[in-house]
Structure 1
Amino acid sequence: MKKIIAILGICSVIFACGSEKSESTEETSSTTKTEEAAPATAAVGSATGEKLISTSDCLTCHQVNSKIVGPSYVDVANKYPATDENIAMLAGKIIQGGSGNWGEIPMAPHPAISTEDATEMVKYILSLKTN
């Protein structure tokens, strides 16, 4: 049963990754739970990173506080200190994909995301550190 769920998860990732950034330009003025949960010492650029994530397919597999297909953003932030080296490495994982660090299910590559955008996304994610 776990293998079937994993395969379905991978298929949904592949399907979701085929789409580019959302073409929607709607903006909302409401505060999200993510904004409320972000610590006061959030990394510079984290608001940009949060917006980039919200307009990408990232939320198909990741959530701020709970594991879906991939780890929660809080789990990622708690695992990796916000160093320049880790930011560059994680931005590379967003663009090139990866596997093995969080289990058997690989993260699909996102080659359409620029290094600059991936870096901002990672800065936002690492700003969510809780411990």
Structure 2
Amino acid sequence: MKKVLALLVLASLSLSSLAADQATAMDIAKKNGCLACHALDKKLVGPAWNEVGKKYAGDAAAAEQLVVKVKKGTKGTWGPVPMPPNATVKDADIKMLVDFVLTLK
């Protein structure tokens, strides 16, 4: 019984942590204008973040590559509309957003 309770507590803490991470990521995304082109679950101008998470699932180099793409901009990965560079966004914020997106599937 104690093991089950401990597992439930850990699961609850993990869910709370995920919710906090999502809230923080969404705050960063709003502050930096990311949501003008992206949504969690549907394509807008750019891809849905859950599609990005699916595409890069299991790719150990994905986080580093995506940080560069977000910072410098990219074109052709998700269609003809380029993503402009985000040179003024803090590196820590980009890393937080990328890490969050990579948890989505």
Smaller-chain TM-score bracket: 0.7 to 0.9
TM-score w.r.t. the length of structure 1 is: 0.60
Any idea what the Cα deviations from partners look like across 1:47-90, whole Å, max 9, x if unmatched?
A: 43332112221111111111011100011000012655211111
TM-score w.r.t. the length of structure 2 is: 0.73
Alpha-carbon distance in 2 for matches of 1:109, 1:82: 26
Match of 1:100 among 56, 72, 76: 76
Where in structure 2 are the equivalents of 1:62-101 lying within 5 Å?
62-81=38-57, 83-101=59-77
Show structure 1 runs of 5+ residues with no match: 1-38
SS of residue paired to 2:45: coil
Greater length-normalized contact order (CA 8 Å, ≥ 6 residues apart): 1
Q: Percent identity?
A: 30
Greater fraction helix:
2
Larger radius of gyration: 2
Alpha-carbon distance in 2 for matches of 1:127, 1:51: 17
**Letter paired with 1:119:** K
Show structure 2 runs of 5+ residues with no match: 1-13
Paired positions, count: 90
Q: Residue 124 of structure 1 corresponds to which residue in structure 2?
A: 100
Structure 1 runs of 4+ with >4 Å offset: 39-42, 44-47
